[in-house]
Amino acid sequence: MRTKLQRDYRKVANIQNDLLQKFTTQLVNDYDQIVIEDLRVKQMMMAHVASKGLQRSLFSKFRRILTYKCDWYGKKLIWAEQTYPSPQRCAQCGYIKTGDEKITLQGNRKHGTKHNEYICYECGYQNDRDKNAVLNLLALAE
């Protein structure tokens, strides 16, 4: 039983490694600049998706492989600071929500906004929460 489990574990690890290699190669082939946000910021959101340990070790492996491949191929790799407020920042005016203005997994109670909508209280800009966050990450590449 133990040997079988070890064999299965190795098989899973090999598949993961293979996927990581293919995925990172595709990224450096397709893009000259890559912006990555550290998943640890999103730990709370991801907790229900995968076990934290697994997620973290996979992510650090992904990070390591992507870093050396970007190096090899002369591609620019930008890491968003763990504290970079991509979900809270307005992609249009740069306003950053704080305190009870913040968008949470339940939306914003004070303003009655939904969890998937970003509404800027400064300039009135509206977008899907994830799309707004991605635009904020892309702003780092400019």
Binding site for Zn ion (CB under 5 A): 90, 92-93, 95, 120, 122-123, 125
- Of 16 and 107, the one with the shorter C-beta distance to Zn ion is 107
Helix (H) and strand (E) counts in the chain: 4, 4
- Of 100 and 122, the one with the shorter C-beta distance to Zn ion is 122
Least distance from C-beta 23 to Zn ion, angstroms? 34
Are the beta carbons of 107 and 115 closer than 8 angstroms?
yes
Q: Which residues contact 39 (CB under 8 A, 6 or more apart)?
A: 46, 55, 56, 59
Least distance from C-beta 123 to Zn ion, angstroms? 3
CB atoms within 10 A of CB 87: 19
- Of 63 and 129, the one with the shorter C-beta distance to Zn ion is 129
CA distance 68 to 74: 10
Least distance from C-beta 119 to Zn ion, angstroms? 9
Least distance from C-beta 49 to Zn ion, angstroms? 30
Are the beta carbons of 34 and 66 closer than 8 angstroms?
yes
- Of 59 and 95, the one with the shorter C-beta distance to Zn ion is 95
